[in-house]
Structure 1
Amino acid sequence: MTATAQTAASPGTRYWDRSLHAYAVMTAEAPGGREGGPREPERFRRHGDLPRYPLPAPPRSLGDVAWSFGSLRAGNETACPPPVTEPSAAFHSALLHHTCGVLRTEFGPTARWPYHRAVPSARCFAPVETYLWTPGHDGLPAGVHAYDPAHHDLVLVRAGEFRATLGAALGADIADAVGVLLFSTVFWRTAFKYGSYAYRLCAQETGLTAGNAMLVAGALGAQGHLHHQFLDGTLERLVGAQRPEESVAAALPLYPWRGSARRPVRRSTAPWTDAELTAALGPAPDRPALTAASAPLAELVEMDGSARLTGTASFALLPRTPDAGAPVPGVPAAGARRTPELGDALRRRTSGSPAFDPVPRPVPLDAMLRIVGPLLDAHVSDAVTYGAPPPVTAHLWAARVTGLRAGLHRVTPHGTEHLRPLPQHGLGTEAANVNYRSAAAVVFLSAPRQEAQAAFGARSFRVLHHEAGVVAQRLCVLSAAEGLAARIHNGYAARKVSRALGLPPGHEPLFQIVLGVPGADERCLMPVPGLPGTAERSTPPRSLPGDAPARNEVSVA
C-alpha cells in the first residue's frame, strides 16, 4: 500500500496492515521500557478502600480436560460435571483462580517475570483485568466485582442488580445466566514496552483469557458464551473503566451446562443505545486511578476508539455453517481417550525458556492428534452462526512427529491432511529467540480479515484475534497435557507465511505457536501458596549461537 493510500485508509485498515506487516517498525518506535526500569507499570491493580470479599481456597483439581470442551469426547456422559444452576463462593474461587489467577511464581538468577498465570502473556504483565457480575450469594452482594488475583479476593465496584442492563448492552437475553465475566485491557502494562503494537498483544491475550475461562467453566459445569459485540460505553461505565488507559474488550455470560446440549445466543429484539443505558446507570463508580501512559500512544488510542459500538442495531454475524462431519483424506484424528486433569494441565502450561530451545525429541503421532483434534470444536460466540466452528484455519508444520509426514498439514475436525513438504526456511519465521531446528512442530492460526472487516469494521481486529486466541489457548493447554511447551511468537513475515500456507486472498495469519519438549533453563517455578505441589526446577540452558534477542522480540510465558 502506498503512503497516500495508507493515509486515506481507515484506522482499522491501517492498524491491520501495520501490526501484521510492519510490526518490526512498530516495536522499534515503541518506548522500549524494561522490567525493573522507572517506567515499569504495576502488575496488579490497586483497589484502595473498596469493600473486599475473600474467596475460599481454590481446588487443585478441576476434572478431565475432555469435559472442559463441553463435549462428549470421553464417551461417558455420566462423568460430566453437574450443571452450575446458581453461583457460589466455591464456584467463583475455582473459576477465577484457574482462569486468571497466579498459578506459579518464578525464582532464580534469570527470573524476570515473577508471576505466571494460566495463559501466555507478553513478559507476564497480564494486561487483562477480570470483572464478575453476580446476582449475589453466601453474603456476597449482588453487583459488579473486580477480581484481585494478588489476594484471591472479589472487590465490590458497584452494588446492584444489573442483569437487565448487561443483557441490553450485549443485545442478548441473559435471564438464565448464573453470572457474567467482563474482560478489560489495561494497555500501558504492555505498551510501556511495545508501544501501540500492544493493542495487538492485548487482543491476543484477551482471546486467550476468554478461551481459558470457557475451558475452566466447562470443567465446572457451566458454559460460556463469548460476546465480542456490546455497547462499550455502558460496560465501561458499569465497571468504572478509565479511558483511554482501560477498555472493556469481551464479555462472557455463564449458563448451566446440561450434558451435550449447548444454549444458543438469544438475540434481543429491542434495540438499545449507549446513551439510553449510561444515563440510567448514573455516574461511574469512584475507583483508584490507573497509572497513565508516560509516552504517546496515539495509534493505539485511535484504533481502540474506532472499534467502539454505540448501538445494538449495528451488531453483525459472520455466516458460517456447522461442520457437516465428512472426513477428508489424510491422517484420521486420534480415537476418544481420557486425557489428563485440567487443573494440572493449566499449572504445567509453559511457553518454554526465554530463549526457547526445545529438546529435539520426537512427539508420538497419537499425542499430536490429541492436541490438534479438538482445536476447531465449536463454541458459542456472537460472531458466527450457532453451531459453527470458530472462523479460524489451522495449519500444522510437522518436523518431529513420529508417524506423520514432515511438512505442511491442514488441521481439520477429522485429523490432518498433508499438503506438501516445506522446509523451515520457507515458512517465513523470523524469531531470533526460538530454535526452530529442535522444535517438534509449528501451528499457524489464520482468519478471514477481509470478510470480518466487511461485517465488523474496525472491531474485526478484536473479533478475529479473540476467536483465534480461544483456539490458541486450547492448543497451549492440550500441549501441556502431553508434556509439551507451546510458544506463541509473532516473529514471522505475514505475507511469506500466507504464501507458504496457501491462504486464500483476504486471510491473515494471526498466531504462530511453536511446539516442543521443554528444554532446561535456570529458573525455578513454584506453585503459589495454598496450592500443594512440587517446584519445577531445571538446569541451565544451552546457549545458541547468534541468539541475542531481536528488536521485535515479544516474549511470553
Structure 2
Amino acid sequence: MTAIERPARATESPGARYWHRSLHDYAAMIRQGPGGREGGPGDPERFARFGDLPGFPLPPPPRTLGALSRCLGPRRAGLGADDPPPVSAPSAAFHSALLHYSCGVLRTEFGPTARWPYHRAVPSARCFAPVETYLWTPGHEGVPAGVYAYDPAHHTLVLLRAGDFRALLGAALGADIADAVGVLLLSTVFWRTAFRYGAYAYRLCAQETGLVAGNALMVAGALGAQGHLHHQFLDGVLERLTGVARPDESIACVIALYPGREDDGRTILRSPARHTEAELSTAVGTVADRPASTATGVRSLSDLVEVDTAARLTDTAAFVRLPHASSPVQSAVGGTAVAGELADCLRRRTSGAPAFNPERRPVPLEAVLGAVKAALAPFVSDAVPQGTAPPVTAHVWAVDVTGAEDGLHEVTEHGLRHLGPVRIADLGLEAANINYRTVNAVVFLSVPREQAQAAFGDRGFRVLHHEAGAVAQRLCVLSTTAGLAARIHNGYAAGTVARALGLSPGHEPVFQIALGTPGADERYLMPVPDQLPLTHGGSPARKAVPAA
C-alpha cells in the first residue's frame, strides 16, 4: 500500500477496509495476530460446553440420505420411487440426520502426523470448526418446543429456552415463517480460528459459515425439506434468544426449513410489517444457566470486532436484495457429475493431506464441468431475486483435464470459454503446500464486491462469502463422484488472480479450490461410530434427558 493510498483507505467504512486488507494484505493481518499453535496452552476447545442444561440425545443418524441430484435446488418433477416424502413435521430422526450430516463429526484422525483430531462434514481451516449450530423446533417426540444448541460431541440437543418462538423468529427475519418445520441458526466462535490467524479469522469464519450453510441446504433437500438461506436479520434479537455473547460469538446466518415441494419451491415471503431490534429485544430475557464463555483475546483484534459490529442490522426496513443480474449458469442440474449418494459423498469428502500432492491421473472434462455447473445451481436466498443463481462466477484452470485445453477457462451456460494458457506465476498462487503440477484443475469463485457493498453495506462481505461458500461446499462434495479431493486454500494474490481471470472492476476472487486425486497419507481417518459420543479432549460426557 502506498503512502497516497493510506489516507483514502482511512476514510472507508470498516467493511470496505476489511475487503481490501483480507484479500490484498492478508499475510500482514496474520503476522499481526497472536500466532497460536494447535496443542499449545492457548489452544481453544473445539466443542462448546453447556453445563447442566438439559440434553435430549438424538437417535443414530442413517447411513444413507439419497441421491445427490435431488438435493441441489428445488425439485422440478414428481417424486421418484426413492425420494422421501416432504417433511410435514420435524422428528428426532429428521434432526439426527440433518444435524449430523450438516455439521457433525464424521471422522477422527490418527497417525504419526495427525494434528487435527475431529473432521466434520465441511472443510475447516486446520479443523478449528468455529461454526456452532442452534435450532428452533416446534417440538416432537418428547422434545419440547424451544431453542436448542446442537452438541456434536454427543449428538445431543441442549435446551436453551422452552417455548414457541416462531413469531419472534419471523419478525427478526422480516419473513412469514408460519409453515416452517424448523429454523437453523449458525454462529461463529471467532477465537477458535483467531487464536492463530488474528483478525484474518473473520474471513475464514465467513467462508466456513457459507460451507456449513450450503451443506445444510443439501442435506435438508435430501431429507425432503427445503431450506431458505437468510443473511439479513436483527442480530441482537437472535443473539439474545440463543444466549450468544458478543464479540466472542456472533450469529452469522439463518436457514428456515419448510416442507419440500415438487414445483419450483416456496419463495421467501417478506413480511410487510417493520420490526426493530429495540422493539423485539424487550420480549427476550437472558438464557438461564448457560455457562459464561471462557475469556479470549477477541477484543484485542480491533479489525475483526470493528467489521463484525459494522455489519449488524437493527431494522428490517433495511433489508434489500442484489439487483437482478444474469448468472453464468442457469441451466438445469443434470449429468453424470451428480450421480452419487449424498451421505456416502460427505463421508468421502476430503481436503487431502496437509501437503496436497495429488497423484497424476487424468480426469474427463465432463466430471469437472458437471460438478462446477451443478454447484452454481440456484438455491433460495434473501440476497438475490427468487430463482436467480448465487452471485458467484466460476473460472477453471485446467491442468490435466481430458477434453479441455490447458489454461484458464470461464464457466458459462454453454460450457467452458477458453481464455488462454497460463503459468503458475501469472496467477500469483502462494500456497506452498499445494503441488500445482499434479492437480487436475483449480476452480476460482469470484463475487461482485462493489455491488454488494453498495447494497448491503458492511454486511456485504459476509453475505458474499456465505453465498460463495455454499457453492464451494457443493463443489467439494460433487468432486468426490470423480474420486477427487477438493482443497480450499486462500494462498493467492487476489489482484493478480483477478487480472488473469479478466474480472470486471469491483469483482474479487474469494475461493481457490484445487482438485486432484488424493495420494498416500500417513494419517488414518476413522469414521465415527454411529452411537459413540466423543468425550476426549474437548467436551466431557454430559447429563442428558432421554427423548420419549
TM over 0.5: yes
1:250 aligns with 2:219: no
Query: Which residue number in structure 2 is paired with residue 287 of structure 1?
Result: 290
Q: Please state how far the C-alpha of 1:427 moved relative to its aligned partner.
A: 1.4
Closer, same or farther: CA 365–71 of 1 in aligned 2, 3 Å: farther
Contact 2:75-2:264 at 8 Å conserved across structures: no
How far 1:172 moved relative to its partner? 0.3
Cα distance in structure 2, aligned partners of 1:94 and 1:413: 34
Equivalent position SS for 1:229: coil
Aligned: 1:20 with 2:23? yes
1:92 to 95, 116, 125: 95
Q: Deviations over 1:494-535 (max 9, x none)?
A: 000000000000000000000000111100000002279xxx
- Within 2, Cα distance between the matches of 1:291 and 1:389? 40
Matched, 1:397 2:401: no
Separation (CA, whole Å) in 1 of partners of 2:501 and 2:470: 21
Matched, 1:373 2:378: no
Does 2:238 align with 1:235? yes
Q: Deviations over 1:22-73 (max 9, x none)?
A: 0010011111111110110000000100000000000010000111113558
SS state of the match for residue 96, structure 2?
A: helix
Q: Determine if contact 1:320/1:384 at 8 Å carries over to the other structure.
A: yes
Q: How does 1:65-464 map to 2 (within 5 A)?
A: 65-71=68-74, 77-294=80-297, 296-320=300-324, 335=335, 339-464=339-464
**CA shift digits 1:64-83 (9 cap, x unpaired):** 01111135589974543210
Q: Report if aligned partners of 1:271, 1:312 keep a CA contact under 8 Å in 2.
A: yes
Partner of 1:483: 483
Question: Percent identity between the aligned chains?
Answer: 67
SS at match of 2:39: coil
The separation in 1 between residues aligned to 2:105 and 2:40, in whole angstroms, is 23
Q: Partners of 2:416 and 2:263 in 1: how far apart?
A: 25
TM-score by length of 1: 0.92
Structure-2 separation of matches of 1:9 and 1:166: 33
- Mapped to 2, the partners of 1:76 and 1:231 lie a distance apart of 37
Q: Which residue is equivalent to 1:538?
A: none
Q: Distance in 2 between matches of 1:32 and 1:220?
A: 41
Following TM superposition, by how much is the alpha carbon of 1:414 offset from its aligned partner in structure 2, in angstroms? 4.0
TM-score by length of 2: 0.93
Match of 1:62 among 40, 61, 65: 65
SS of residue in 1 equivalent to 2:359? coil
Return the letter of the residue paired with 1:311.
D
Distance between the aligned counterparts of 1:338 and 1:431, measured in 2?
Answer: 29
- Residues in 2 aligned to 1:221 and 1:99: alpha-carbon distance in whole angstroms: 15
Q: Distance in 2 between matches of 1:300 and 1:462?
A: 12
Between Structure 1 and Structure 2, how many residues are aligned? 528
Measured after TM superposition, the shift of residue 468 of structure 1 is 0.3
Name the CA shift for 1:322/1:180 in 2 (closer, same or farther; >3 Å): farther
**In structure 1, distance between residues paired with 2:194 and 2:121:** 21
2:20 counterpart letter in structure 1: D
Cα distance, 1:131 vs structure 2? 0.3
Q: CA deviation at 1:324?
A: 10
| Paired AA for residue 492 in structure 1 | Y
- 1:391-442 residue CA offsets vs partner (Å, 9 max, x unmatched): 0000011010111111111113442222222222211211111111111000
SS at match of 1:436: coil
Computed over aligned residues only, the root mean square deviation of the Cα atoms, in angstroms, reads 1.9
Among residues 2, 7, 13, which one is paired with 1:4 in the alignment? 7
* SS at 2:176 equivalent: coil
